[in-house]
């Protein structure tokens, strides 16, 4: 399974939002500058996260983005599902795979998809933040 650039940008933005004061929305321009991300693309990413219920959007001059729920309640599966159905277990009808093989392949894909979904559901934004904090601490101790 490959993590798309979209998913990576989304996780980066969510972690940045989670690290800020929860009472103050963060503008897209600030997130883009902080993470060195393309602003137009990031805006599309943030809109998808709002539409899926991961983020809230506040309009106006003091507007921006906030988490819709605490970081420990946002799974990486929530983030992945905001963009595409990467865990979809289907085969195009024109694949040329014979019926019996197609049935076996689909069953295997469904099992793999279910296992991936379970693992992604277990990993939360809070976990990512904890790993990031640990990495930063280890780096600063080694300097």
The CATH number assigned to the domain holding 34 equals: 1.10.10.10
Predicted local confidence at residue 84, as pLDDT: 72
Predicted local confidence at residue 103, as pLDDT: 82
| Burial group, residue 46, by CB count within 10 angstroms (0-12, 13-18, 19+) | buried
If one counts the domains in the chain, the total is 1
- Could you list the residue range(s) of the whole structural domain that residue 135 is in? 5-142
How far, in Å, are 20, 53, 54, 55, 64 from residue 69 at the CA level?
14, 9, 7, 8, 15
For the chain, how long is the longest CA-to-CA vector? Answer: 60
Burial 107-129 (b: 16+ CB within 10 A, else e): eeeeeebeebeeebeeebbbebb
pLDDT tens digit at each of 143 positions of the chain:
667 889 999 999 999 999 988 789 999 999 999 989 899 999 999 999 999 999 999 998 889 999 999 999 999 999 999 987 666 666 666 566 777 887 888 888 888 888 988 999 999 999 999 876 655 555 455 54
């Amino acid at each position: 399974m490959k993590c798309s650039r979209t998913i990576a940008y989304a996780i980066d933005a969510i972690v940045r939002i989670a690290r800020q004061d929860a009472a103050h929305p963060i503008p897209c321009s600030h997130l883009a500058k902080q993470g060195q991300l393309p602003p137009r693309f990031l805006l599309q990413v943030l809109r998808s996260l709002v539409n899926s219920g991961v983020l809230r959007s506040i309009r106006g001059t003091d507007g921006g983005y906030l988490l819709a729920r605490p970081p420990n309640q946002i799974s990486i599966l929530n983030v992945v599902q905001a963009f595409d159905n990467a865990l979809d277990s289907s085969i195009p009808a024109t694949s040329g795979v014979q019926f019996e093989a197609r049935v076996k392949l689909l069953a295997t894909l469904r099992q793999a998809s279910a296992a991936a979904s379970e693992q992604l559901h277990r990993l939360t934004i809070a976990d990512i933040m904890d790993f990031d904090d640990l990495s930063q601490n280890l780096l600063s101790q080694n300097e």
